[in-house]
Structure 1
Amino acid sequence: MIALCSTSFLLFVSSGGLIPSPAQAASVCTAYQVRATGHGGLSTLLRVTLPTGLPNRAPQPLGLAVNSIGYAQAQGLVYGIASRDRSGKFRDGGHVVRIDLNGAITDLGPVRRTGAVPVPWSGLIDSYAGTVVGNRLYVREWDKLYAIDIDPRSPSFLGLVHAVRLDWHWLSDDLDDFAHNPADGKLYGISNTGHGHGTLVKVDPGNGKVTKVKVLKGLPGSSTYGAVVLDPADNGLWVLNNDYRRTSRLYRIQLGDNTITEVNTGPAVTSTDGAGCLKSTPPPATTTPPPVTTTPVPPPAVIPPPPPPRTTTPTTTRPAPVIPPPPPPPSRATPPPPPPVKPVVARTPPRPTPKAQASSSLVRDQRRWTVVTVVMLIFGSGAAVRIVRSHR
């Protein structure tokens, strides 16, 4: 639902302005909007709550320039026409796109001919206004109204099934968006009539007849109304004027008596489109699960934890392997005095013990002199005997 606009109803709330009336606040719905930041830019999807215009999810880039969107209630999906992607403008005409309520977008390919209705040379790449009636996406391009089959079960899926010329050109040429009213089957929108006032019009999608409902003096006529959303619960028509005196303006029109309420204002916009007025708001990206009421269940039996692994040294019940003790280290105590040396020749001195090895060098010298003395005595005795025998 747009022509050459750029932001969405979100802008009205952030800028401050008029407060919605109690009647408006009583009817709450969610509208889907696509917007671009400039001519030829790619679109971002927004889900906003009316009448406040506040987003209920963060903006989501789509990677395509999308316009002429409408909400298919039977499918729970949004359909529209994409004119370009990141590579540039499509060469085979406009592509039908499908957007689910979580923002996932699917490029279904170009509009094709499946029956008697030919596809225009543009391939509907220049379409602006859009809405869904049943399983048909109605879009306006220049002075004609086209219907595309969006029923996936139909053999004419994505094909043109209807085309009609709009009869009142000066009104229809400025009709940049419309919304389907199930009460009478007509498409309602605001025609920009130059520097005058906006004109409420309705279009018969069957024969293309355009009817002027009323010139609304409370609506400025110097800018296009790029987004139009209808709330069928109270016949409230929400319309967005893109740029009036460098300001975008959101209005609510009560169909029937055609009373006007200016709801809010915001910065001027350049490209935007909207669809749907869903009473069931889709869940936000992050939600808190509701509390669950259940019958209390007795707690399970407490099982004591297993004992921790033993880290103590083995007890006598598990004897350790027997390892021969190492020889005792030399004592650092003061060694006892050496035993007296007995000059006995016949006995060989006992093998010294580790303690005897630590005796003083004096004891060893005494033993050496004792041995020398004994040898000398032996040799001396032998010499004396030889002398006596020589004298005999």
Structure 2
Amino acid sequence: MLEVLACVAIQVEADQWGPSTVYRVELPSGSAEVLHTLDARVNAIGYSAAQDRVYGVDDDGGIVVLDRTGHPVARSTGHPGFLKHATAGVVVGEKLIVRVGHLMYWVDIDPGSSRYLKVVRQAWLWPPQHALNVDDFDVNPADGLLYGVATFPYGHAYVVAIDPDTGRVDRVPGTGTLPATHGYGAVVMGRDGALYVTSNRDDGRSVLYRVALDGSEAVTEITSRPARRSIDAAGCLSVPPIVDPPDPTVPPTTPPTTPPTTPVTTPPATPPAEPPLVPPTSTTPAPPPVISPTSTPAPPTPPASEEPPAQTPAPSREPLRRPEPKAELATDGHRNVRDQRRWGLVAIVLILGAGAVARAHARHR
């Protein structure tokens, strides 16, 4: 919060004799840094945020233009001398408003104007008991009025507001009182809504005060420096925007990119497992082996199982007209094996029978 409300002002200071020195003053701390020493005495300065330039009036009544480092960048020539002895200045829009005695003057500071650095308007300040004692002012963006401090030789000083359109000067209630000094030559409106005013000389010191504008009448002394004969300030200077550093825990957001289109290749389907081999089905039974009476048949192959696996007959669309031989209903190799076994048994029976007949016949002889 303090960094957001910080303000940097340009301040010009001069002693009894000699040119002005430009300072960079930080608010609200009040720390000051020397920027540059000019070749003339300058007062009644105002800051243009749009141009980032400081405009002021020298001892001869000419307009001096400074950059934010305090170096001159332009100066008017042949200007009439009625701006001499200007004591207060502020930039409003494209105009530098300065006070000289009981008058306010508007100076055109638009670089593109044909009347650049020329006086284009003047107005009276009234009532005179307030107007003649205001040494500096700054514009309050909240209401557009010019706020300054009226100082009297005897008694206290107090905050006043000036209407730039009519020139009327009024005391601001609820702002408290300030010590009576030799004038408050530097007035800056802070970003925190308070008024920062600096006295020229107060018991050998130049004192910076913060004056609250919230009706609390709070006046706070901030810091002090050596006394000066002439002081004026302008600000707050524009600052670059504050950018928060990226959060290292959050990955940066990047716009989605469309990947290059690549052909989609479908992997070949896995071929189904091949079914187990089934012996070919034969509807015609194999012929029985030819057995001669003198040959010895091979021993029969033992059956793999007593009964063949059950078969589910295929449904028939019409009834059977006659029974079919069982041999013709065989649909697999097991039927062929069974038929071969039967023929083998028949052959064995025949051989055994023939042997028995031969032995009986031999005994009878």
TM-score range (shorter-chain normalised) is 0.5 to 0.7
Q: Per residue, is there more strand in 1 or in 2?
A: 1
Moved more, 64-73 or 243-252: 243-252
For the 8 Å contact 1:195–1:220, the answer to whether it is kept is no
RMSD: 2.2
User: Is 1:35 the counterpart of 2:13 in the alignment?
Assistant: yes
Deviations 1:245-270 (A, max 9, x none): 33222110111314211112333221
Deviations 1:105-153 (A, max 9, x none): 03422475xxxxxx6xx42011110010011000000000111000011
Aligned length: 240
Question: In structure 1, what is the Cα distance between the partners aligned to 2:15 and 2:204?
Answer: 16
Deviation at 1:217, TM superposition (A): 5.0
Question: Are residues 1:44 and 2:27 paired?
Answer: no
Which structure has the bigger radius of gyration? 2
* Residue of structure 1 in register with 2:289 after alignment: none
Evaluate the alpha carbon distance shift between residue 51 and residue 250 of structure 1 in structure 2; reply closer, same or farther with a 3 A threshold.
Answer: same
Question: What one-letter code is carried by the residue in structure 2 that aligns with 1:154?
Answer: S
1:247 has 2:180 as partner:
no
Consecutive unaligned residues of structure 1, counting only runs of 5 or more, are 1-22, 84-89, 113-118, 283-392
Q: CA deviation at 1:196?
A: 1.0
Equivalent residue runs for 1:330-341 within 5 Å: none
The DSSP-based 3-state class of the residue aligned with 1:245 is coil
1:103 and 2:81 equivalent? Answer: no
- Counterpart-to-counterpart distance in 2, 1:270 and 1:98: 22
Find the aligned partners of 1:247 and 1:155 in 2 and give their Cα distance: 44
CA contact (8 A) 1:30 1:281 kept: no
Q: Distance in 1 between matches of 2:209 and 2:122?
A: 31
TM-score by length of 2: 0.61
Aligned to 2:258: none
Counterparts in 2 of 1:178 and 1:63: CA distance versus 1, 3 Å: same
Q: Specify the alignment match of 1:59 in structure 2.
A: 35
C-alpha separation between the residues in 1 aligned to 2:36 and 2:177? 34
Partners of 2:133 and 2:151 within 8 A in 1: yes
Counterpart of 2:135 in 1: which secondary structure?
A: coil
Q: Structure 1 vs Structure 2: percent identity of aligned residues?
A: 38
Higher relative contact order (CA 8 A, sep 6+): 1
The gaps in structure 2 that reach 5 residues or longer are 242-365
Residue from 178, 192, 195 that aligns with 2:151: 192
- C-alpha distance in structure 2 between counterparts of 1:183 and 1:71, whole Å: 18
The 3 A distance-change label for structure 1 pair 249 and 26 is farther
Q: Taking structure 1 as reference, are residues 31 and 195 closer, same or farther at Cα in structure 2, changes over 3 Å only?
A: same
Looking at structure 2, the residues matched to 234 and 244 of structure 1 have their Cα atoms a distance apart, in angstroms, of 26
* Matched residue SS, 2:164: coil
